[in-house]
Amino acid sequence: MLVSILICSRNRCESLKETLVALRRLEIPSGIKVEAVLVDNGSTDGAGELMRGFLWPGASVVFAEEARPGKGHSLNTAIAAS
């Protein structure tokens, strides 16, 4: 089974850091494949760079950018990338 975790962010670098740290703490059960799909929605506060550098041992990480502002655009980009 594959589980995709979609995270879209725009200028929320500090709370994004907390979220990514929490993801790394998750224990992934055997038989489950996990991917984190991170979408930067035009951030100017370093959130995009944080996403690009995120590594999660035991899971795959996909990074995408969405220039059009809005949660819907970002989620559609994340779904397409997963």
- When pLDDT is averaged across residues 20-36 and rounded to a whole number, the result is 95
Determine the straight-line distance between the first and last CA of the chain, rounded to whole angstroms. Answer: 14
pLDDT at 60: 96
Residue pLDDT, tens place only, 36-74? 999 999 999 999 999 999 999 999 999 999 999 999 999
pLDDT of residue 82: 94
What contacts 63, CB < 8 A, 6 or more positions away?
38, 39, 40, 51, 52, 54
How far is Cα 19 from Cα 79, in angstroms, rounded to an integer?
19
